Amino acid sequence: MRGHHAITTNALRDRIVQLEWEHSELDRMIDRLSDSSDISDLELRRLKKRKLKVKDNIMLLQLQLEPDKHA
């Protein structure tokens, strides 16, 4: 059973890394596009909302890895 726990932990860490990368990419995109007239306010708000959802997902996964650390 211990091996399964290690696989789950590794999968969670891998997913966190992926989400952190996506969060960084969204942050850069928002910064770049916020000064541009090529994007509407609605599209920009959607990107920001997506970035917040990604951050929330990161926090939820981190809580699964270390539930006592974030309490």
d(CA 27, CA 10): 26
Contact 10, 52 (CB under 8 A): no
pLDDT at 1 over 60: no
d(CA 63, CA 71): 9
Asked which of 14-18, 57-61, 67-71 is least confident by mean pLDDT, the reply is: 67-71
38-57: pLDDT as tens digits: 889 999 999 999 999 999 99
d(CA 39, CA 61): 32
> Could you tell me which residue, 29 or 65, shows the higher pLDDT?
29
